Amino acid sequence: MKNIFLLFGCLFIYLFSFSQPAPKPYGALPSARQLKWHETEVYGLIHFTPTTFENKEWGYGDADPNIFNPSMFDAEKIISALKAGGLKGVILVSKHHDGFALWPTKTTNYNISQSPFRNGKGDLVKEIEQACRKLGMKFGVYCSPWDRNNPRYGTSAYVEDYRNQLKELYSNYGELFMSWHDGANGGDGYYGGQRTTKKIDRSTYYGWDTTWAITRKMQPNANIFSDVGWDVRWVGNERGFAAETSWATFTPVPVQGESKTVPGQLDDKQNPFGTRNGANWVPAECDVPLRKGWFYHPEDKDKVKSPAQLFDLYLKSVGRGAALDLGIAPNTNGLLAEEDIASLAAFGKLVNESFKKNLAENASVSSNETRGKAFSTLLMKDGNPNTYWASSDKDLTPSIEFSWKENITFDLIRLREFIPLGQRVESFEVDVFENDQWKKIAEATSIGACRILYLNTPVSAKKIRIKVNASPVCVTFSEIGFYKKADL
């Protein structure tokens, strides 16, 4: 009799373990295009125009196209160096504020065909794009709306020029992963010889809704970046890091007196943090130049960020659910300086080696309760971002225990929520079992696509617990890993 009860009991538990459906999504959710973007994590932003040859940061728009003569330019060499740095994509500044187009556009004469580059037959956008395709890197463009060369700037005719420039970039260079738009507008410029200051009304002039409808139509997989979104938001500084609590959801805050937020005109105090339960999924991008400025300056030779500095920025951007967008500045030869190449390669190696071995792989994993077999604890360490563990609907503060036969030594903890179901966890801690009790070694808030915690001193333990302390709904984890930072 007892055995029959046991048998039925087991059968019931077995069947029940299959019966729980997937958790319901929570809050604003990422689009398929944003999910792809999240995988990119680290990418580059190349600035290379006549401004490089003038040794300036902002070209006035009056540089003679003849100065653009990078005689050793080699797109594949540049993109290979970025690849060695672990970058997975590249955005090319195809036109900066100086207005010089790096492709033979029909919209303005102020373009690469007027320069000695490839005897006026060149297309630098194409060369970078092709190198990216060949080396398996994603490609995107930044076309500055502010144009200090174009005499039509300030009129509606220029807005048409700008949209036509985007249409050319959207038609001739394959699929783009990002369309990057900045909000800078300093006013003064050459403007075809007018040498004047042109003020525009940021809230109406560019007509972003119309422009971005073109982006959506022609490049549906391109993530639109600007300080307000739509897909990816600026993090609010150009130093390469997000706030310690940084939500992927966001409700942009208009500047005082305005009802709507438009690029270049928002109260950006909220950008580093995002908005808990915000209106849309708009994760942050942390942009920062590898050297001191966005453009190459020979005098900044010793201001290239070291691999250790880059690793720190990586932890504070990618490790806070955002992306790291590194400014890359080719020199007047059309190549990256040796010191840039060396720093990128060492950074790439440091990240790679540090996250190569997930110590959780040979751990036993258990949780205080479970949602059933379909959401097994093993799915948190299978290396597959599409499989996940979930707690049951009633458990908003689950604990997950990892245990090993021998001590493991680690100083990096990486967690990923299953973000197709939204950003759920509000706070959690990491505990180790020591002298017969749990001891807290770290705690944090937002997780989302990725959260990395770095312990300044490595810890050795046989049992580690991830304890969720607050969540409005049941919890999902697609991956949890423990690592030891490489000593390089």
Binding ligand FUL (rule: CB under 6 A), the pick from 182, 268, 395, 431 is 182
Q: Locate tokens 């059968």: which residue?
A: 11
Q: Which two tokens stand for residue 375?
A: 């959401």
What's the Cα-to-Cα distance from 248 to each of 43, 274, 282, rounded to whole Å?
A: 18, 6, 6
In whole angstroms, how close is the CB of 132 to ligand FUL at the nearest point?
A: 19
Residue 478 binds which of Ca ion, ligand FUL, none (CB < 5-8 A, kind-dependent): Ca ion
Q: Which two tokens stand for residue 357?
A: 């071995």
Q: Which is nearer to ligand FUL, 13 or 184 (CB)?
A: 184
Instruction: Give the Cα separation of 174 and 426 in Å (integer).
Output: 39
* 147 sits near ligand FUL (criterion: CB under 6 A): no
Interface with Ca ion (CB under 5 A): 379, 382, 384, 387, 478
Residue 384 binds which of Ca ion, ligand FUL, none (CB < 5-8 A, kind-dependent): Ca ion
Residue 340 binds which of Ca ion, ligand FUL, none (CB < 5-8 A, kind-dependent): none
Residue 382 binds which of ligand FUL, Ca ion, none (CB < 5-8 A, kind-dependent): Ca ion
Give how many residues touch ligand FUL by CB under 6 A: 6
Shortest-Cβ-distance residue relative to Ca ion: 387
In whole angstroms, how close is the CB of 399 to ligand FUL at the nearest point?
A: 43
Q: What are phi and psi of 15, to 5 degrees?
A: -65, -40
Q: H or E segment at 259?
A: none
In whole angstroms, how close is the CB of 388 to Ca ion at the nearest point?
A: 6
Of residues 263-292, which lie at the interface with ligand FUL (CB under 6 A)? 287
CA neighbor of 54 nearest in space, from 238, 289, 293, 342: 293
Q: Which is nearer to ligand FUL, 45 or 323 (CB)?
A: 45
x-marked contacts with ligand FUL along 184-203 as a string, rule CB under 6 A: x-------------------
In whole angstroms, how close is the CB of 360 to Ca ion at the nearest point?
A: 11
Q: Which is nearer to ligand FUL, 182 or 401 (CB)?
A: 182
Residue 166 binds which of Ca ion, ligand FUL, none (CB < 5-8 A, kind-dependent): none
Instruction: Give the Cα separation of 313 and 241 in Å (integer).
Output: 6
In DSSP notation, 387-443 reads --EE--TT-SS-EEEEEEEEEEEEEEEEEE--GGG-----EEEEEEEETTEEEEEEE
Whether residue 155 contacts residue 111, with contact meaning beta carbons closer than 8 Å, is answered with: no
In whole angstroms, how close is the CB of 397 to ligand FUL at the nearest point?
A: 41
Residue 433 binds which of Ca ion, ligand FUL, none (CB < 5-8 A, kind-dependent): none
Length in residues, the chain: 488
Residue 62 binds which of Ca ion, ligand FUL, none (CB < 5-8 A, kind-dependent): none
What's the Cα-to-Cα distance from 159 to each of 163, 200, 288, rounded to whole Å?
A: 6, 11, 28
Look at the alpha carbons of 25, 389, 323, 321 in this order and tell me if their dihedral is positive or negative: positive
x-marked contacts with ligand FUL along 289-318 as a string, rule CB under 6 A: -----x------------------------
Whether residue 44 contacts residue 325, with contact meaning beta carbons closer than 8 Å, is answered with: yes
In whole angstroms, how close is the CB of 343 to Ca ion at the nearest point?
A: 33
Instruction: Give the Cα separation of 82 and 89 in Å (integer).
Output: 9
Q: Which is nearer to ligand FUL, 141 or 350 (CB)?
A: 141
For helices 208-218 and 156-172, what crossing angle results, to 10°?
A: 20
Q: H or E segment at 91?
A: strand 89-95
Q: What are phi and psi of 111, to 5 degrees?
A: -150, 180
Residue 287 binds which of Ca ion, ligand FUL, none (CB < 5-8 A, kind-dependent): ligand FUL
Of residues 57-116, which lie at the interface with ligand FUL (CB under 6 A)? 58
Q: Which two tokens stand for residue 274?
A: 């995002």
Q: Which is nearer to ligand FUL, 295 or 389 (CB)?
A: 295
Q: Which is nearer to ligand FUL, 107 or 226 (CB)?
A: 226
3-state secondary structure 307-340: HHHHHHHHHHHCCECCEEEEEECCCCCCCCCHHH
In whole angstroms, how close is the CB of 392 to Ca ion at the nearest point?
A: 18
In whole angstroms, how close is the CB of 227 to ligand FUL at the nearest point?
A: 9
CA neighbor of 289 nearest in space, from 272, 271, 305, 265: 305
Question: Which residues contact ligand FUL (rule: CB under 6 A)?
Answer: 45, 58, 182, 184, 287, 294
